[in-house]
Structure 1
Amino acid sequence: MTTLKLTTWNVNSLNVRLPQVIQWLQANPVDVLCLQELKIPDERFPIEALQEIGYQAVWAGQKTYNGVALISRTQGYDVQRNIPDFDDHQQRIIAATYDTSAGPVRVISAYCPNGQDLESDKYTYKLAWFEALYQWLSTEIQKYPHLAILGDYNIAPTDADVHDPAKWQNVVLVSEPERAALNKLLSLGLHDAYRLFEQNGSPFTWWDYRRFAFRRDAGLRIDHALLSDSLKEFCVACEIDREPRTWEQPSDHTPVTAVLQLP
């Protein structure tokens, strides 16, 4: 058996948090780290610094906003940037395939739109983006049965993933159309790795910088690792690492890792 560890982390500016990413990888040498919100253009991606600690990467950068990457111990191939046939200048998807003892595994890093508020054009865009993602994944999962899509989904799946459901009622990130969009992805044969196991402690992965939200544990679980049917059978754990959120000048998100035992 071999262990495959897949992690997602919205770093909210790789330029600011590269030292934290390197520190975390050295302490937690996962196989693939899916990053979101790089907020740097392609030419400023710090590939040399990552190669110095034994990692490769593929990325889709964007100045100031968005941006995604796959940082991996081995080089990925069949790289796809963004959703095919969906006209979008925002860099939100990067996919690559990795050879493993169980065969090729397709890994996707996704930075899903926030939506801003229910009356915003950005909310309309969010729902359209999720529909395009669904259409693409419906073919992608046929081509790559071993598929994992990890990222910041900007959706808390249920009230159990919200610190105060009454406060968040009819608010972006928890609205019924958003949850329906996420459930539609799951209908393709994808599984929320965190909910495969009985969990102890706080489930949250994001805490607002304001109002001492982390100190009060007033958070949401919006960062997810979704695994295809075949990968679900290999998954033995899904862990939220809260420690980076305690560091100085942290991201408002923290890493989530799915652990798989492959034959």
Structure 2
Amino acid sequence: MRIASFNINGIRARRERLLEWLEETRPAVACLQEIKCQDADFPAGDFEAIGYRPTWHGQKGFNGVAILVDGEDPLEVIHGLPGDPADEQARFIEADVRGVRVVNLYLPNGNPHPGPKFDYKLAWMERLRVRLGELLARERPTVVVGDFNVIPEDRDVWSPAAMASDALMQPESRAAYARILGDGWTDALATFNPRGGVWTYWDYQAGAWQRDHGFRIDHLLLSPEAADRLTAAGVDKDHRGREKASDHAPVWVEIADG
């Protein structure tokens, strides 16, 4: 079972690239971030036409997440990260697929740092940890994917010095991510690439893609029950180099059938 994650950076702007990727790689589950459209404008028919059944949580012009399942309906569980009823940003969705709880998230960027956006990022991460702790306690296979907007370690960026002042690499951001892992989650990409050097994002500016100046912020976390079934994980890097591509590459994890 392949579960993939793709920050598409605008579902309407990247429609052709997204459908191309889905048909070429055919993940069982595709989790999208930054769809950047309201619920009513989500192009569900585009995915249904190629066999995917979607559920989504949209927001006008910003954020937005979706889960697409090949050949069956996702059993939707929750829209929005619990813990703050006043938070209306569309950044979190959960669904059950073939006995696996799939969590799809778009974690706040946090820039500029310091400031209220960074404070919101850290508070969101604490709420996330609480929710993920609840899921761990259920002792069921759970896969958490998405754009975490955290560079976990220096080995996950082409130049630590170049990103030193960015919210993605602040000690507080890294510590919050490390606390989540410490609760019992397995970072699938790090497991298969212990020396680092694997990027999932390349900025549009300054020739970052052409110079391979990237970093890893799209992550795939597995509960112990899912980690026991882990067989592979990777990055569909070539899709970042295509015309009118997202600035992220898709990432994916494979787990054996339970």
TM-score (norm 2): 0.95
For 1:47 and 1:144, locate their aligned partners in 2 and report how far apart those are by CA, in whole Å: 32
Cα offset, 1:177, TM superposition:
0.4
Cα offset, 1:136, TM superposition:
1.3
Q: Deviation string for 1:123-145 (max 9, x for gaps)? A: 00000000011111111222362
For 2:255 and 2:145, locate their aligned partners in 1 and report how far apart those are by CA, in whole Å: 14
Give secondary structure in 1 for the equivalent of 2:210: helix
Question: Which residue number in structure 1 is paired with residue 157 of structure 2?
Answer: 162
Give secondary structure in 2 for the equivalent of 1:216: coil
Question: Which residue number in structure 2 is paired with residue 85 of structure 1?
Answer: 83
Task: Report 1:1-263 matches (<5 A).
Answer: 4-73=1-70, 74-86=72-84, 87-99=86-98, 104-143=99-138, 145-198=140-193, 202-263=197-258
The 8 Å contact of residues 127 and 181 in structure 1, kept in 2 or not, is answered as yes
For 2:28 and 2:121, locate their aligned partners in 1 and report how far apart those are by CA, in whole Å: 30
Q: Extract unaligned runs of 5+ from structure 1.
A: none
TM-score (norm 1): 0.94
The one-letter code of the counterpart of 1:160 is R
The one-letter code of the counterpart of 1:166 is A
Cα offset, 1:262, TM superposition:
2.1
For 2:140 and 2:182, locate their aligned partners in 1 and report how far apart those are by CA, in whole Å: 14
Cα offset, 1:258, TM superposition:
0.4
**Equivalent residues, number:** 256
Percent of aligned positions that are identical: 36
Q: Extract unaligned runs of 5+ from structure 2.
A: none
For 2:133 and 2:196, locate their aligned partners in 1 and report how far apart those are by CA, in whole Å: 34
Give secondary structure in 1 for the equivalent of 2:239: helix
Give me the CA root mean square deviation. 1.4
Give secondary structure in 1 for the equivalent of 2:46: helix
Q: Deviation string for 1:81-124 (max 9, x for gaps)? A: 0112323111000100012xxxx100011000000122121000
